[in-house]
Amino acid sequence: MKALHVVRPGDSISVLCIGAHSDDVEIGVGGTILGWIVAGVNLHVHWCVLSAVADRAAEAKASATAFLLDAASAKIDIAQFRDSYFPYQGVEIKQWMTDLRARSSPDIIFTHRLSDAHQDHRELYHLTSTVFRDHLILEYEVPKWDGDLDKANVFVPMTAAVLERKIELLLTHFGTQRSKDWFDADTFRGLARLRGMECRAPERYAEAFVVRKAVLA
């Protein structure tokens, strides 16, 4: 089990971001990634989206590239598993994840929450925690109409500038999502303010995660 990190400017940190759909990583951990890069962390990112075809694949690639523009290094993998059917593709996805583990040993993994109401998200949590047993895993949240937001136990504060950059990139790159009534700046800013209040973030905003097991080193 990897130790829980304190991330400081100048540190070299490798992270693996795993998302079911083309906007999940950006919503769940985009501010953390942007904030660490701005703060001077030497961030090496492997960014994986498992279900993206046609327009959504193009969105996924363009958005990931924009979020990782100033990272120390970036690798983007986009797969084409069938959206909304992940529980029925478990064997194939687990093999994909096992192959991923053979070429990736990150300090931190970001993936979906166990409590997420979307079946694809939950399946990815189960497979990530099964395949990457010896890694520190932080579970991020994606707001949706299901009302599945839960308690968090790890918070990463964000500056207002980082939050606004995150929102700008989300609204710029995901044209296929703009018609959804929850996909707007108010949702993203409101959730960040709530999480910032919960951790008393210096600039009022934060992203929140769940850690189920960690070693304090």
Residue 3: inside a domain = no
On whether residue 4 sits in a domain, the answer given is: no
pLDDT at 215: 85
pLDDT digits (tens, 9 = 90+) for 59-107: 999 999 999 999 999 999 999 999 999 999 999 999 999 999 999 989 9
Residue owning tokens 């579970």 = 139
Q: What global pTM score does this model have?
A: 0.95
Q: Is residue 22 part of a domain?
A: yes
Q: Residue 115, Cβ neighbours under 10 Å: how many?
A: 15
Whether 86 maps to a domain, the answer reads yes
Helix (H) or strand (E) holding 77: strand 73-78
Assigned token pair, 1: 């089990």
**In which domain, by residue range, is 165 found?**
12-209
* Assigned domain for 167 exists: yes
Give domain status of residue 215, yes or no: no
For residue 59, being part of any structural domain is answered with yes
50/15 Cα distance (integer angstroms) = 17
pLDDT of 13 higher than 60: yes
pLDDT digit string, tens, across residues 160-208: 999 999 999 999 999 889 889 999 999 999 999 999 999 999 999 999 9
Q: How many domains does the chain have?
A: 1
Alpha carbons 141 and 41: distance in angstroms, whole number? 23
Q: Does residue 68 belong to any structural domain of this protein?
A: yes
Residue type, 125: Y
Q: Which CATH number do you get for residue 22? A: 3.40.50.10320
